[in-house]
């Protein structure tokens, strides 16, 4: 009975060490940046979808998890996007860094800088026929610390909510196209 007490103390410590050391070791072997994409086809013209996506201050209308979005222009025609979340009462700042519009494709790129990582989201809009647009969210993440690199790549596979964003966007587009 006396020998069981150290097992209950040592086992959790060993498990904690494994949960920190193993992901850190694997993370050191991973390339610091990786890209994930998610696509959907929406029944909306590409220009209309573009207008909807760059109207950041109206995001709370169709993204109910946002309560307020404020936008201000900063240097080089970039936009600073400040979002306040409804439920979590948290706030994040993003920067729109690029808009490209060609005959067959439109891109909007937004960057988020954090202490542990940098994320570049690119919304790629392509015509998919009459009144249909394919939107692809390309998320490139650069993670500085090996432990977080492992966590972001393998554990938090959709940390930035690409799926939820596309679901809400599709629902809003379908509702307003009737």
Say if 134 falls within a structural domain. Answer: yes
Q: Which CATH number does the domain housing residue 42 bear? A: 3.30.530.20
Hunting for tokens 């390309």 — which residue is that? 138
pLDDT of residue 80: 94
What's the domain count of the chain?
Answer: 1
Say if 22 falls within a structural domain. Answer: no
pTM (whole model) above 0.85: no
Tokens describing residue 93: 């700042």
Say if 53 falls within a structural domain. Answer: yes
Say if 21 falls within a structural domain. Answer: no
Say if 110 falls within a structural domain. Answer: yes
Say if 166 falls within a structural domain. Answer: yes
Kindly list the averaged pLDDT for each block of 10 residues, start to end, along the chain of length 178. 66 87 92 91 94 94 89 89 84 90 92 90 93 94 91 74 88 85
Say if 89 falls within a structural domain. Answer: no
pLDDT of residue 70: 92
pLDDT of residue 157: 67
**Torsion angle (degrees, nearest 10) of CA 83, 76, 137, 121:** -70
Rg (CA), the chain: 21
Question: Edge-to-edge strands of the sheet including 117-127?
Answer: 33-42, 133-143, 117-127, 105-113, 91-101, 78-85, 66-74
Residue ranges making up the domain that contains 120:
31-64+95-176
pLDDT of residue 106: 94
Say if 55 falls within a structural domain. Answer: yes
């Amino acid at each position: 009975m006396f020998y069981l007490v150290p097992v209950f103390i040592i086992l959790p410590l060993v498990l904690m060490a494994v949960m920190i050391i193993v992901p850190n070791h694997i993370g050191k072997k991973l390339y610091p940046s990786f890209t994930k994409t998610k696509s959907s086809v929406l029944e909306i013209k590409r220009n209309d979808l573009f207008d909807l996506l760059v109207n950041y201050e109206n995001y709370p209308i169709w993204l109910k998890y946002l309560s307020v979005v404020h936008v201000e222009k900063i240097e080089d025609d970039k936009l600073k996007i400040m979002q306040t979340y409804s439920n979590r009462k948290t706030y994040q700042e993003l920067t729109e860094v690029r808009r490209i519009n060609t005959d067959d494709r439109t891109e909007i790129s937004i960057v988020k800088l954090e202490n542990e990582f940098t994320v570049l989201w690119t919304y790629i809009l392509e015509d998919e026929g009459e009144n249909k647009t394919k939107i692809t969210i390309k998320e490139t993440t650069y993670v500085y610390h090996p432990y977080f690199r492992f966590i972001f790549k393998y554990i938090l596979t959709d940390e930035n909510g690409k799926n939820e964003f596309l679901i809400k966007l599709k629902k809003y587009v379908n509702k307003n196209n009737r």
